[in-house]
Each structure stands twice: as C-alpha cells, then as structure tokens.
Amino acid sequence: MLQYVLAEHPFFVATGALYAAAMAFYAAAWKSTKELVARAGTALLCAALVLNLGLIVQRWIEADRAPFKSLFESLVFFAFNIGVVYLAFEKLYKTRVLGVLAMLLSFGVIAYSLSKWDAEIVKLPPALQSAWFVPHVMVYFVGYAAVALASLLSVVQIVSERKGYGGKIPGLHAGTILTGQELDLEKMTYELVRFGFVLLTIGLLVGSVWAKSAWGDFWVWDPKENWSLVTWLVYGAYLHLRRVRGWRGERAAWLCLLGFSVVMFTYLGMKMLPTAEASNHVYSG
C-alpha cells in the first residue's frame, strides 16, 4: 500500500511530509529563541493546507460529488480542518504554543487514512444525495476540529495543573509566543468548546431537517444520530457546569476529554455496534 501511494499519489505523501515538517519546526520553537523557526512552522502548515485542499478538490472532481462518503475521504477532510482551525487559533491568540500537538494530530490523521485507503470511487446512496449533505458534514467537521484542539489544550492544562502552574503557561520566548504574556489554557479551551458546540448544534439541526426530507421524520433513532446527541449533551454539560457551577481546573479538563472520546467513538466506533449495518451514517471503508 505504501509503495502504491508513493508511486501514484506523491501529493498525498507530500501533504503528510509537510505536516510532519511543520510539527518539527513548532517543536524546535520551544527551545529556539529565534522567531524565524516558529514562523517556518506556520509557513509549512500553510503549504500543507494548500496540498491538503488540493487532495480534497481532486477527489471531488474525480468522484463528481463531495468527497465525504468513505472513511478515507473524511479523514483527509478532517486533517485539513484541524490545520485550518489551529491556524485561526494561532492568529487569534498570537501564540504557537499548541502548534506541535496540532500538527501531530493532523499528521496522525493523514497517516491513519493510509490504512483506510479507498481508491475506488463509490456513488452516494439516494439518502445522501441531498443538498443538506455538504453543509451538514462541513459544519460537523469544523466543530470536530475545534473540540479536538480543545482536548489537546485540556491535556496541557492537566499537566500544567500538576506541575504547579495553575492551568496556565508562563510567558515564553518569541519562538512559541508572540505576546510574551501568560496563557490561560482554561479560557482558551472554553472558547474552543463554545465555538465547537455552536457548530455541533447547527450540525444537529441541519441533520434533523435532512432526516425529515429523506425519511419523513426529524429523528429516526439511527445509532450515529443517537451518539451525536450524546456528544452534544456532554459538551453542553461542560459549558453549563463551567458557567453555572463554576467548574474549573482538572475536572473541567477531564470532562472536555470525555467529550472528545465520545466524538471519536461517534466518528470511528460506530462499526462496533450491532446496528451499524442498518445505518446510512456509518462511514464505509
């Protein structure tokens, strides 16, 4: 499989290599005092995103449909969204401190997609041939990327708590942070979850309208629908407990990680359910 990909799909390999190179430069920026090193990481990420987008567009043209049907296609799209959301995060907070973990995740998703390689173009079943298909998937995957980054921040926050930094990272040198100010990991996690939760909510609403047009009911109790609702409830609980009950620190971070574990089961674990074969939402491949 690897030899086939290297020979037939050099741009796919180049995309993974650029994510890996960006990860290496972001990691080097933790020790280097030169901002140029971290800027190189950002530049390599942008190059990876261009190639990643090219892969999506190429597949879209070849399949003559949105490339979101198979697990392989969705993984390539997920890696792209992680990179895009992280880049927005970097520009918004003016910090590259999360770059190495975000690039590790994007690279890992691309590498995992190799094991799910799907060279054959599969037509969409009638239920998926809907105008709601593309916005539903796009909204969800941007939301998934946001909560994925939130989960990475939660891990860093837990480590920070146990190292005695109180869930924060002290001001760092110019390589990893542009402002030189202390980073409030919990606040950044909260804002990412809040953004992701809005998108998950929109995704649920769009999905229910789609279900009404395709199956005649807003909710058909499909297993993936049910687990999408569980995901929404977990992140809703996180936002509620943090704002109303004042949850902070490790317990809020662990709840955020629980939410992402539910996301991953909803995304990748549906095939383990005995009702998976009857679902139109479970990815093929």
DSSP symbols for the chain: -HHHHHHH-HHHHHHHHHHHHHHHHHHHHTT---HHHHHHHHHHHHHHHHHHHHHHHHHHHHHTS-S-SBHHHHHHHHHHHHHHHHHHHHHHHTB-TTHHHHHHHHHHHHHHHHTT---S--PPPGGG-STTHHHHHHHHHHHHHHHHHHHHHHHHHHHHHHTTSTTEE----TTTBSS-PPEEHHHHHHHHHHHHHHHHHHHHHHHHHHHHHHHSSS----HHHHHHHHHHHHHHHHHHHHHTS---HHHHHHHHHHHHHHHHHHHH-GGGSTTGGG-SSSPB-
pLDDT for position 133: 87
User: Which of 60-69, 210-219, 241-250 has the highest mean predicted lDDT (pLDDT)?
Assistant: 60-69
pLDDT for position 173: 45
Please report, for the chain, the start and end positions of each structural domain, with discontinuous segments joined by +.
69-95+111-278
**Percent of the residues in the chain that have a pLDDT greater than 70, as a whole number:** 84
Q: How confident is the model at residue 176 (pLDDT cuts 50, 70, 90)?
A: low
pLDDT for position 279: 58
pLDDT for position 136: 92
pLDDT for position 231: 94
Report pTM: 0.89
Q: How confident is the model at residue 1 (pLDDT cuts 50, 70, 90)?
A: low
pLDDT for position 61: 92
pLDDT for position 178: 47
User: Which of 75-84, 157-166, 213-222 has the highest mean predicted lDDT (pLDDT)?
Assistant: 75-84
pLDDT for position 155: 92
- Confidence check: pLDDT of 274 > 60: no
pLDDT, mean of residues 69-93: 94
pLDDT for position 144: 97
- Confidence check: pLDDT of 89 > 60: yes
pLDDT for position 85: 97
Q: How confident is the model at residue 284 (pLDDT cuts 50, 70, 90)?
A: low
- Confidence check: pLDDT of 59 > 60: yes
pLDDT, mean of residues 88-112: 92
Q: Which of 92-106, 164-178, 249-263 has the lowest mean pLDDT?
A: 164-178
**Percent of the residues in the chain that have a pLDDT greater than 90, as a whole number:** 47
Distance CA 137, CA 74 (A): 9
14-17, long-range: CB within 8 Å, 24+ apart, which pairs?
A: 14/51, 15/48, 15/51, 15/52, 15/55, 15/79, 15/110, 16/107, 16/110, 16/111
Q: How confident is the model at residue 93 (pLDDT cuts 50, 70, 90)?
A: confident
